[in-house]
Amino acid sequence: MNDTKLTDIAAAVGVSVTTVSKALKGYPDINKDTRARIIEMAEKMNYLPNENAVNLRTNQTKTIGVIIPTTVHHFFSSVLNGILDEAEKRGYLVIILQSNEKYELEKKQISLLMQKRVDGILISLSNETDDFSHINAVLNKETPVVLFDKIAKMVHCSKVVIDDRKAAYDAVSYLIGKGYKRIAHFRGSLVPQNSIDRFLGYKKALEDHGIIFDPNLVFMCDHNTDFEDGYANAKKMVESQQEIDAVFAITDLVAIGIIKYLNEVEIKIPEQIAVIGFSNWFMSTVISPKLSTVNQPGYDIGFKAVSILIDEIIQAKNHVPIKHQTITLPTEIIERESTVRI
């Protein structure tokens, strides 16, 4: 145990703790070779500053908090990857919490992070969250927050997102361009913005191409178990006997659930029904048929979100007024087998 502290070095070198501290931190008013002696001794005693003391004194922790709905999702893993890389590069540590899509948990975790005095918070809102006072409370304490992926428009802070509406619009337009006409949509639950937006994009694309929107063609996948939701609703869809030649799924996972069911009942993809997903998970390249999808740049989202957050942290520290920005990262259609008829 017995961690070495400034006092120990000071005693060993024969100077005051002030001098040691200044030497180690590069203050200019320290003689060259006393500095050298101090540094040498610090290394010899392998000194590590006690961050608790530093943090208490400087009132910053060089730590950010991240709250995500779940870690075991390819998309969030990618985001996390981007977050960790950029945070590391900028010298910040990151504390991860998962809300499991629960509002109460999310709220409690925010409080935990504030207690820990993190310098900023990154959060993708839970599906349940429709009250934002806990976020505003953080903002009011001048702790920067940036929302990503699942955001709330009415919260006044920076955000990094994709344009879900446009991406969905593009995906459906792409299907229409391929000649599909009776296009179903497997949508997510009603609360999260991205679920709403993807639905709206779907609807708009139909209307803009002269196809009347038929509410019977939208299936609700709101059990947060995307794969099973896709599977179950595919069954429902097939049994409804409606004329359908393509489906736009809110997620690759539900798309894969759909594919699994269609494969089982030997409905040919894409000959009888085409399927397009959303997110471009690694998995979509290995199933059969390979899934066409919308690429969602998870790594970039995480990366950019941290970047903005740290910028704002620094601005807040220097009391320069911060201008919130919302970055929209581009998506793209990835065409594979599940939508191209030969």
Partner DNA sequence: ATTTGTTCCGAAAACGTTTTCGAAACCACC
Partner DNA sequence: GGTGGTTTCGAAAACGTTTTCGGAACAAAT
- Tell whether the torsion through CA atoms of 173, 175, 178 and 184 is positive or negative: negative
Q: Segment 165-184, which members bind a second copy (CB under 8 A)?
A: none
Task: Report what 74 binds from DNA, a second copy, none; CB cut-off 5-8 Å by kind.
Answer: a second copy
CB of 198 to a second copy, least distance (A): 22
187 Rama class: left (phi>0) / alpha (psi -120 to 50) / beta:
beta
Choosing from 45, 155, 196, 287, the residue that interacts with a second copy (CB under 8 A) is 287
Choosing from 7, 16, 40, 51, the residue that interacts with a second copy (CB under 8 A) is 51
CB of 67 to DNA, least distance (A): 23
Given the complex with DNA, which of 49 and 289 has the nearer CB atom? 49
Do residues 102 and 128 make contact, with C-beta atoms less than 8 angstroms apart? Answer: yes
The Cα 95–Cα 97 span in angstroms is 7
Do residues 64 and 122 make contact, with C-beta atoms less than 8 angstroms apart? Answer: yes
Given the complex with a second copy, which of 94 and 196 has the nearer CB atom? 94
Kindly state whether residue 90 participates in binding a second copy, applying the rule CB under 8 A.
Answer: no
Q: Segment 130-159, which members bind a second copy (CB under 8 A)?
A: 141-142
State which amino acid sits at residue 261: Y
Given the complex with DNA, which of 59 and 285 has the nearer CB atom? 59
Q: How far lies 265's CA from each of 84, 226, 233, 259, 260, in Å?
A: 43, 20, 14, 10, 9
Q: How far lies 297's CA from each of 1, 29, 277, in Å?
A: 45, 48, 14
Choosing from 21, 81, 225, 315, the residue that interacts with a second copy (CB under 8 A) is 81
CB atoms closer than 10 angstroms to residue 162:
25
Task: Report what 117 binds from DNA, a second copy, none; CB cut-off 5-8 Å by kind.
Answer: a second copy
The tokens describing 263, both together, are 């494969």
The Cα 325–Cα 177 span in angstroms is 34
Task: Report what 17 binds from a second copy, DNA, none; CB cut-off 5-8 Å by kind.
Answer: DNA
List phi, psi (to 5°) of 282: -50, -40
Q: Segment 3-22, which members bind a second copy (CB under 8 A)?
A: 3
* 3-state SS class at 30: coil
Residues near DNA (CB under 7 A) are 3, 5-7, 15-19, 21-22, 24-25, 27, 29-32, 34-35, 47, 49-50, 53-54, 56-59
Kindly state whether residue 97 participates in binding a second copy, applying the rule CB under 8 A.
Answer: yes
Given the complex with a second copy, which of 73 and 159 has the nearer CB atom? 73
State which amino acid sits at residue 271: E
Which residues on neighbouring strands pair with residue 295, listed in sequence order?
Answer: 279, 332
Residues that bind a second copy (CB under 8 A): 1, 3, 48-53, 55-56, 61, 63, 70-74, 77-78, 80-81, 84, 88, 93-98, 111-112, 114-117, 141-142, 256, 259-260, 282-283, 286-288
